[in-house]
Chain A
Amino acid sequence: MSSHTYAKKPVYPLLGVAASVSVLVLGLLFAKSLAVFYFFGAAWLLFFCMGYRRACIAVLTAALLLGAVFAAATYLISRNVPAALAAVARITAVCLAVTPGLGMPPSYLVRSLSALKLPRVLVLGMLITFSFVPLLRKEAAQVREAMKTRGAGSIFNPSIFYRALLIPLIVRIASISDTLALSVETRGFTLDNTPYTVYKPVSPGAKDIIFTAGFAVCIVLLVLHL
């Protein structure tokens, strides 16, 4: 997830997750009905108005591209237009369902879970998993480069290749996790019931009520046109 798609003020995270799940399930369930496209259009517009502009544009681009590919592929195989449209509907459901996730900074989700008093072990773990993907990507690239410098980058020598890739990578992962664990513990983090504060807790607000109402309208639109 890239920060340039984040919304300035996303909806309450759990609402966003619920919307995501709903879009996916409803989209897949009613893929064979043309009414689902009304639902997608309304949902997309709702996300757009709620501040997920960049995420919506990214998702639209992906849905159009992938939709065209899958429609063409399905039509070529089945020679059946409804089947092709259903394929488009399914891929659109998958793409649109990603919108709330693309638009939400992971820390926002984590803070809402903290406010709900989710066990700290889960909150910390999620935060780390979210945050460390870019760093680990760099580490993996560094390892691949180091393999090149030692002449160990060829997949035609698999035993050397796997050793040169995995051994340094796992050693680095262990080192990084040791440093990080020390860092969080020396900053007072514990897994027991020691009292803690949640700075800037995330709770539902007026915007979320509007979003919920809007989403309900989208579902009504779908049902009406089935």
Chain B
Amino acid sequence: MENQNDKGIDGAAAVQQTGGKLLVRDVVFLAVISAVTLLTCSIMPLVAGVPLFGLPHLVTGLQLGLFYAIGIMKVRKTGALLLMALFTGVIQLMMAPVMFLSNIFCGIIIEAVIYFTSRGFKSTLSVFLAAALFNPLSLPFNYFYNLAVGKGNLAEVVSSQPWIAVLMSLAVVTVTAAGALAGIKIAGELKKSGALKR
């Protein structure tokens, strides 16, 4: 189809146009972005067995922050993050079921927080917060899961040497936030150019 030279419009206007309802093209874009997120996170299984708290989150933080931010910048509607979490989670369901649960849990929490604080993803700050916090939020979930299923060495590290966990958590937050910022920048540029239409 011919390229249109639309000027990008802000999130509030985009949501207003469609009444906040998710459309087929929104779902398709979120699904494709989820697929590319999974592709770039395929490094994770290589480090999953290493007993260092937060390492899998660290190696995937940049990609998750980046692509989730792009997804939400394009589809600035409530449910966008949860859908991406679900689509990536379903693949993970067949490989590491706990990650599916973690994805859903974190997705719901963040969507709820964003909805009740800023009424959705209208502002860029809300996009940043959602994309930057999704990955780090699964760290405590991971800790309690390891504790519950007796993956003792991982849980023990956290309690006996908490400074490792704190450092790793900070690193995860930093890396994911950097990814989110980059994603917002790229999405903003491409929206202005019309390549990433609303």
Which residues does A use to contact B, with CB under 8 Å?
1, 16-17, 20-21, 24-25, 28-29, 31-32, 66, 70, 90-91, 94, 97-98, 100-102, 104, 109, 121-122, 124-133, 136-137, 140, 162, 166-167, 169-171, 173-174, 176-178, 180-182, 184-185, 189-191
A residues near B88, Cβ cutoff 8 Å? 129
| Closest chain B CB from A158 CB (angstroms) | 11
Given B22, B31, B48, B196, which contacts A129 in the complex, CB threshold below 8 Å?
B31
Cβ of B195 within 8 Å of any chain A Cβ, yes or no, is: yes
Given B98, B182, B187, which contacts A24 in the complex, CB threshold below 8 Å?
B98
Contact, CB under 8 Å: B195 / A24: no
| Closest chain B CB from A83 CB (angstroms) | 8
B residues near A32, Cβ cutoff 8 Å? 150
The closest CB in chain A to the CB of B48 belongs to A94
How far apart are the CA atoms of A25 and B25 in the complex, in Å? 37
Contact, CB under 8 Å: B150 / A29: yes
Given A28, A167, A174, which contacts B29 in the complex, CB threshold below 8 Å?
A174
| Closest chain B CB from A99 CB (angstroms) | 9
B residues near A174, Cβ cutoff 8 Å? 29, 74, 190, 195-197
Additional A-B contact list (14), CB under 8 Å, known A17-B97, A125-B87, A181-B24: A25-B149, A101-B95, A102-B94, A122-B83, A122-B86, A124-B27, A126-B86, A128-B87, A129-B38, A129-B88, A130-B91, A174-B190, A177-B29, A190-B24
How far apart are the CA atoms of A130 and B88 in the complex, in Å? 9
B residues near A169, Cβ cutoff 8 Å? 36
How far apart are the CA atoms of A100 and B74 in the complex, in Å? 35
A residues near B35, Cβ cutoff 8 Å? 128-133, 136
How far apart are the CA atoms of A128 and B48 in the complex, in Å? 26
Given B25, B31, B34, B182, which contacts A162 in the complex, CB threshold below 8 Å?
B182
A residues near B83, Cβ cutoff 8 Å? 121-122, 125
Given A28, A136, A162, A181, which contacts B149 in the complex, CB threshold below 8 Å?
A28
Contact with A along B76-95 (1 / 0, CB 8 A): 00000001001110110111
Contact with A along B86-110 (1 / 0, CB 8 A): 1110110111111000000000000
Cβ of B30 within 8 Å of any chain A Cβ, yes or no, is: yes
A residues near B34, Cβ cutoff 8 Å? 125, 129
B residues near A136, Cβ cutoff 8 Å? 32, 35-36, 39
Given A94, A166, A173, A190, which contacts B32 in the complex, CB threshold below 8 Å?
A173
Contact, CB under 8 Å: B27 / A191: yes
| Closest chain A CB from B4 CB (angstroms) | 11
B residues near A140, Cβ cutoff 8 Å? 36, 39
How far apart are the CA atoms of A173 and B160 in the complex, in Å? 45
| Closest chain B CB from A167 CB (angstroms) | 7
Contact with A along B12-37 (1 / 0, CB 8 A): 00000000001111011111111110
Contact, CB under 8 Å: B23 / A191: yes
A residues near B66, Cβ cutoff 8 Å? 166
- Most B CB contacts (10 A, CB to CB) among A100, A109, A166, A169 go to A166
Contact, CB under 8 Å: B39 / A128: no
The closest CB in chain A to the CB of B90 belongs to A126
The closest CB in chain A to the CB of B195 belongs to A171
Cβ of B70 within 8 Å of any chain A Cβ, yes or no, is: yes
| Closest chain B CB from A35 CB (angstroms) | 14
A residues near B25, Cβ cutoff 8 Å? 177-178, 181, 185
Contact, CB under 8 Å: A70 / B49: yes
| Closest chain A CB from B69 CB (angstroms) | 11
The closest CB in chain B to the CB of A163 belongs to B186
A residues near B28, Cβ cutoff 8 Å? 124-125, 128, 177, 180-181, 184
Contact, CB under 8 Å: A66 / B195: no
A residues near B186, Cβ cutoff 8 Å? 166-167, 170
How far apart are the CA atoms of A101 and B27 in the complex, in Å? 24
